[in-house]
Amino acid sequence: MAATSTNPALQALNVRKSFVSGRLESTVLHDLTLDVRAGELTLIAGPSGCGKSTLLAILSGLQPADAGQVRALGHELGGMSMRALEHFRLQHTGFVFQGFNLFPALSALEQVELPLSYMGLAKSAARRRAVESLEEVGLGPRMQLLPAELSGGEKQRVAIARALAKQPELLFADEPTSALDAANGQIVIDILHRIARNHGTTVLCVSHDPRLVGHADRVLAMEDGRILSDHVPTPPAEPKAKEPSA
Ligand code: ADP
Ligand code: MG
Question: ipTM score of the complex?
Answer: 0.98
- Chain segment 174-218, per-residue pLDDT in tens: 999 998 998 999 999 999 999 999 999 999 999 998 888 888 999
Give the integer Cα–Cα distance in Å for 6 and 21.
Answer: 40
- pTM of the predicted protein model: 0.91
**Residue 238 falls inside a structural domain:** no
Question: What confidence score (pLDDT) does residue 246 get?
Answer: 45
Q: Residue 12's domain is classified under what CATH number? A: 3.40.50.300
Separation of CA 33 and ligand 2 centre (Å) = 19
Give yes or no for residue 21 CB within 6 A of ligand 1: yes
Nearest CA to ligand 1 atom 21: 19
Give yes or no for residue 180 CB within 6 A of ligand 1: no
Question: What confidence score (pLDDT) does residue 235 get?
Answer: 72
Burial letters 163-202, b for 16+ CB under 10 A, else e: bbbbbbbbbbbbbbbeebeeebbbbbbebbbebbeebebb
Question: What confidence score (pLDDT) does residue 129 get?
Answer: 97
- What is the extent of the structural domain holding 33? 8-19+27-231
Give yes or no for residue 54 CB within 6 A of ligand 1: yes
| Ligand number, closest to the Cα atom of 28 | 1
Give yes or no for residue 25 CB within 6 A of ligand 1: no
Give yes or no for residue 207 CB within 6 A of ligand 1: no
Question: What confidence score (pLDDT) does residue 67 get?
Answer: 97
Asked if pLDDT for residue 88 goes beyond 70, the answer is yes
**Residue 244 falls inside a structural domain:** no
Residues 175, 138: contact at Cβ < 8 Å? no
For helices 108-118 and 123-136, what crossing angle results, to 10°?
Answer: 130
| Residues in CB range of 83: below 8 A, 6 or more apart | none
**Residue 1 falls inside a structural domain:** no
What percent of the chain has pLDDT above 70? 93
Asked if pLDDT for residue 245 goes beyond 60, the answer is no
- Chain segment 4-45, per-residue pLDDT in tens: 445 899 999 999 999 998 999 999 999 999 999 999 999 999
Question: What confidence score (pLDDT) does residue 241 get?
Answer: 61
**Residue 58 falls inside a structural domain:** yes
**Residue 3 falls inside a structural domain:** no
For helices 108-118 and 152-165, what crossing angle results, to 10°?
Answer: 20
- Chain segment 116-158, per-residue pLDDT in tens: 999 999 999 999 999 999 999 999 999 999 999 999 999 999 9
Separation of CA 131 and ligand 1 centre (Å) = 36
Give the integer Cα–Cα distance in Å for 108 and 217.
Answer: 30
Question: What confidence score (pLDDT) does residue 5 get?
Answer: 41
Looking at the structure of the chain, the number of domains it has is 1
